[in-house]
Amino acid sequence: MSWLILMLSGVCEAVWATALGKSAGFSRLVPTVIFLIALLASMSGLAFAMRGLPVGTAYAVWVGIGAVLTVAYAMATGAESVSALKIVLLVGVVGCVAGLKVLG
């Protein structure tokens, strides 16, 4: 259960990071509200997951999922350029996160 909550929290991290960028310094209401809700969900889920997982592993997985999804979304929407090297590096992050799960 902790791993599932942690993965969902990582998704919420990507949501709040993206919403933060779209909030224009908290001057746009809808992205700001999405940011706050996703931030609360992400942090709550991370805190819950840390009850059953080592702190270092939980944090690394949470950040990894959030970072990969944030960059992937930005590339998919055209906000960030796509390159083969970026994709290889993102796959590397996913591999490292999966490795932490397997070793956990």
- The domains of the chain are located at 2-103
Residues near 45 by beta carbon (within 8 Å), at least 6 away in sequence: 5, 6, 8, 9, 12
Q: Which amino acid is at 9?
A: S
Whether the per-residue pLDDT at 58 is higher than 80: the answer is yes
The model's pLDDT over 9-57, given as tens digits with 9 standing for 90+, comes to 999 999 999 999 999 999 999 999 999 999 999 999 999 999 999 999 9
